[in-house]
């Protein structure tokens, strides 16, 4: 009997966090799913890790072949999926146990919605809790954020999408290499509604060298291109975006400082202390790093008494 959900997870040199990602899917309270993992030409031991789990759990279907890139890989997974719902997943993130249960319940009850994500919490490379993302609730609010060229209104790997809707909008387009999810969600919003479940069911891992940082200029250019294409389809005026063609990657120290403040504001004081120390250990004694270290220590002491 076919499963109701098809989980699609592309993998490319993902061995560092792959076990956590796989186990978070296999540990879902809603168990009626197939788990399609496509090894997109990895040169590390990702394939061996997936094979190990596939021997234990027959829901895992491994495809391994030469590298084709993200969009082609996800489209391939969608094409062979047997479920009516496609659950997205990334190789380094964590789905909390009730994610699928909540998303299936929502889509079953709301036939006019084509996709649903969940609220998400940011974690660091080592899994430290940073803070809950400020996310948007309500279709119009989500679509407005996307049309303003602001991604993340739905955290893509937390999304569950109706397969027929995804096929109807022709899936992911590789000409939007750094923003295929934004382009896809804009097109989905033109045939149905989008929503976020107002509960944290997903842990989204941050990296200093993530694509969103190292290729910021290209990502912004692709996102603008996706919005302009949506404006043309919807016959609405183009927004006037600032020229970010010379946008530079954020330095590792700046990224750590941002995470430290986010963690502090989320009352994760041990995490904020950790990232302040990472900056100071590199002998970059900034006032901001010292400030967040002192404030974090004070709050850690306060919590002990």
The CATH number covering residue 98 comes to 3.90.550.10
What is the domain extent for residue 71?
5-234
246 vs 218: CA distance, rounded Å: 10
pLDDT at position 214 over 60: no
pLDDT attached to residue 304: 79
**Co-location of 183 and 286 in the same domain:** no
**Co-location of 81 and 111 in the same domain:** yes
Sole residue written with tokens 């999408």:
161
247 occurs within a structural domain: no
**Co-location of 225 and 271 in the same domain:** no
Q: What is the pTM of this model?
A: 0.93
288 occurs within a structural domain: yes
pLDDT at position 283 over 90: no
Average pLDDT, the chain: 93
**Co-location of 153 and 222 in the same domain:** yes
pLDDT attached to residue 210: 64
pLDDT attached to residue 285: 61
Q: Each residue of 20-63: pLDDT tens digit?
A: 999 999 999 999 999 999 999 999 999 999 999 999 999 999 99
**Co-location of 125 and 201 in the same domain:** yes
pLDDT attached to residue 301: 86
**Domain count within the chain:** 2
**Co-location of 217 and 256 in the same domain:** no
**Co-location of 194 and 45 in the same domain:** yes
223 occurs within a structural domain: yes
239 occurs within a structural domain: no
**Co-location of 165 and 100 in the same domain:** yes
């Amino acid at each position: 009997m076919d499963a109701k959900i098809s989980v699609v997870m592309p993998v490319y040199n993902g061995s560092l966090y792959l076990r956590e990602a796989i186990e978070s899917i296999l540990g879902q309270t809603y168990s009626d799913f197939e788990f399609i993992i496509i090894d997109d030409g990895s040169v590390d031991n990702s394939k061996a890790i997936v094979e190990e789990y596939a021997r234990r759990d027959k829901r895992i279907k491994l495809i391994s072949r030469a590298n084709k890139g993200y969009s082609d890989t996800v489209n391939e997974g969608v094409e062979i999926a047997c479920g009516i719902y496609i659950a997205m997943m990334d190789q380094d993130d964590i789905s909390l146990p009730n994610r699928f249960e909540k998303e299936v319940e929502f889509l079953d009850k709301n036939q006019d919605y084509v996709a649903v994500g969940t609220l998400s919490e940011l974690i660091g490379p080592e899994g430290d809790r940073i803070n809950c993302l400020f996310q948007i609730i309500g279709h119009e609010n989500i679509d407005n954020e996307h049309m303003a060229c602001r991604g993340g209104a739905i955290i893509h790997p937390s999304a569950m999408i109706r397969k027929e809707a995804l096929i109807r909008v022709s899936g992911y387009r590789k000409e939007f290499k750094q923003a295929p999810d934004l382009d896809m969600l804009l097109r989905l919003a033109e045939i149905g509604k989008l929503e976020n479940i107002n509960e944290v069911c997903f842990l989204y891992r941050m990296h200093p060298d993530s694509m969103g940082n190292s290729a910021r200029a290209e990502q912004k250019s692709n996102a603008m291109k996706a919005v302009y294409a949506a404006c043309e389809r919807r016959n609405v005026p183009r927004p006037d975006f600032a020229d970010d063609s010379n946008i530079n990657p954020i330095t590792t120290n700046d990224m750590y400082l941002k995470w430290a403040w986010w963690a502090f504001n989320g009352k994760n004081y041990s995490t904020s202390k950790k990232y302040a120390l990472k900056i100071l250990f590199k002998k970059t004694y900034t006032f901001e790093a010292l400030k967040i270290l002192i404030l974090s220590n004070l709050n850690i002491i306060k919590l002990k008494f």
